[in-house]
Chains A and B, each alone.
Chain A
Amino acid sequence: QKEVEQNSGPLSVPEGAIASLNCTYSDRGSQSFFWYRQYSGKSPELIMFIYSNGDKEDGRFTAQLNKASQYVSLLIRDSQPSDSATYLCAVNTQAGTALIFGKGTTLSVSS
């Protein structure tokens, strides 16, 4: 059973701090990795994807991938109350199959 694991949280950080969201996956053959943000009552929204080991930065967001440790993370710098949402990690285990989603981590940013 291929799995994607996330801590459900809630993860609470003060405004302006760095929020670190983590995700582990079981299939070593996984090829691509995605982070989605879902506000309460809304649909998941793609915020980042990463294919290669290392870091990928986009504005205040940085995705980090370590395939040897089967670990992907999302860092949010200068966290804002508007970042409060559930963050879903999704993994593609092999070409031609659907993404496998984790159950999400709830982030709460307090002002």
Chain B
Amino acid sequence: DAGVIQSPRHEVTEMGQEVTLRCKPISGHNSLFWYRQTMMRGLELLIYFNNNVPIDDSGMPEDRFSAKMPNASFSTLKIQPSEPRDSAVYFCASSPGTGFEQYFGPGTRLTVT
């Protein structure tokens, strides 16, 4: 079975540009999570969805960040406008349900110059 798929794997962009990260969860999983990881702050939960509905977005740092899950097999995380401090690795994870084990995608390494 295919695991969680993320694209792009690497993104380099200039400050002020819009960035869209994409995620395809494992088929049959009901929950999807977006994380950001930096050396300083570790793994931070940004937002999670259950059955395509956003449940908790309290980890989204600013209004510049938005996430959508239009269907069970696709989610996006958008940053507009991007800033250098957004540089991090962004992971998407999916789970059979919240509270169960999560499976992580390979991540997107974002660099904002």
Chain A positions within 8 Å of B, measured between CB atoms, are 31-32, 34, 36, 42-46, 49, 88, 90, 92, 94-99, 101, 103-104
Contacts and interface: CB of A to CB of B under 8 A. Distances in A.
B43 A101 contact: yes
Main secondary structure of the interface of A (DSSP, over half): loop
Interface residues on B, range: 10 to 19
Contacts of B48: 98
Contact of A101 (B42, B100, B107): B42
A99 B105 contact: no
A104 B42 contact: yes
A31 B99 contact: yes
A34 B43 CA distance: 15
Contacts of A32: 99-100
A31 B99 CA distance: 9
B98 A96 contact: yes
Contacts of A92: 99-100
Contacts of B104: 36, 43-45
Contacts of B45: 98, 101
B88 to A, nearest CB: 13
A21 B5 CA distance: 30
A99 B42 contact: no
